[in-house]
Amino acid sequence: MHLARVPVPVVGWARLSRVGSVSAEEERPVTIYTVAERAGVSIATVSRVLQGSTPSSPATKAKVLDAVRELGYVPLRAGRATALRVEQHGLVLYSLGGPYYSELLVGYESRAPEFGQSVSLISTEGIEAVEDRVFDLAAKMDGMVLAHGTTSDEVAREVARRVPTVLLNRDPVEGCAGVNVENRRATEELVIHLLRDHGHRRLLFAGDPDQARDAAHRHRGFLDALEAAGLDQAGPPLRALFGESQAAEVAEAVVADGHLDALVCANDELALGVVLELRRRGVRVPEDLAVTGWDDVMAARYTGLTTVRQPAREVGRMAAQRLHDLIVRSSTDSDEILVPSQLVVRSSCGCVERRDN
């Protein structure tokens, strides 16, 4: 993946400062593709006319310049005699650490070269003035991808007014397209497996439903399965962040309860940390307590963790494809693509055979 520090933009915006309402046509981002479509020429021709790199016929030049004026297109850093470069994507993630983000980036990188895309990447974890960083990046890009936990909906909405924008694993925002993972149904299937195939009746959810859309939907699927079975959760969720940082606290709470059958963790890193902490306290998994995760990271595959496989690579590929489509069409399509997840049953829930399908 090419991480361009100062990419050459090919995006401008229609002027929206006048008083009164604006149409959908006026609100959508104006890109070099929009100009080419209006003028009936290729984007390479538009680039040559604007940069004066090679001669164009008077008629062609007139069509391009008329389209530029009609659309209010103002190429950023206009006048720089640089040839048109590849499609520029800005990717904003909360973190660059952990297996989820690694898989997501691999997926994005695998699709981007097919379209000649160049990707500029920033992480918002621990940085100040996030809004300024995001707006600054958007000013240099053809389009933006904003993952969960990075910006407010208000910021996402403003970015989408400027350039095509795709949201990852976030609730819908006006003007933004979405690529999300199916969380609720897959978690319900996981819990049904614990109830039906293992006879567990006292189950607890470990994770913070208020932390992110993913955790909230997984908790909702957990509750759906219990309600369908006529059962109540053993107690309120053990609120813990994604990752293993609070695994010891979760393990302590489980030991203190002493009556649980199964613990359903919001992600694999938390689940794997909890399993380790439980074993240190003499609690056997799965003999004394079933533990499950979510994501299917590599470590889960080698430790026998029952989990739900989140297709992070596919999400990355779909995000790259979706943003490319929006840029080429100069579209403000806000439909959501839902990528399915898959239950993976292994030994941590009590299954004798480990099935890594």
298 part of a folded domain:
yes
Which strand (E) or helix (H) includes residue 122? strand 117-123
Task: Tell me which of 71, 88, 117 is where a domain ends.
Answer: 71
Instruction: State the pLDDT at residue 28.
Output: 55
- The residue range of the domain holding 38 is 11-71
239 part of a folded domain:
yes
CATH number at residue 297: 3.40.50.2300
278 part of a folded domain:
yes
Instruction: State the pLDDT at residue 331.
Output: 53
Question: What is the pTM for the complete model shown?
Answer: 0.71
Question: Using 50, 70 and 90 to split pLDDT, how confident is the model at 173?
Answer: very high
Task: Tell me which of 71, 99, 114 is where a domain ends.
Answer: 71
For 274-292, write each residue's pLDDT tens digit. 999 999 999 999 999 999 9
Per-residue pLDDT for 149 more than 60? yes
Q: 78 near 50, Cβ under 8 Å?
A: yes
CATH number at residue 52: 1.10.260.40
Domain count, the chain: 2
104 part of a folded domain:
no
Task: Tell me which of 49, 71, 93 is where a domain ends.
Answer: 71
291 part of a folded domain:
yes
Q: What share of the chain is helix, strand, coil (3-state, %, to 5)?
A: 45, 15, 40
122 part of a folded domain:
no
Say what the alpha-carbon torsion angle 218, 222, 225, 229 is, to the nearest 10 degrees: -170
Q: 148 near 125, Cβ under 8 Å?
A: no
Question: Using 50, 70 and 90 to split pLDDT, how confident is the model at 213?
Answer: confident
> DSSP assignment of 35-70, as one string?
HHHHHTS-HHHHHHHHHTSS---HHHHHHHHHHHHH
160 part of a folded domain:
no
35 part of a folded domain:
yes
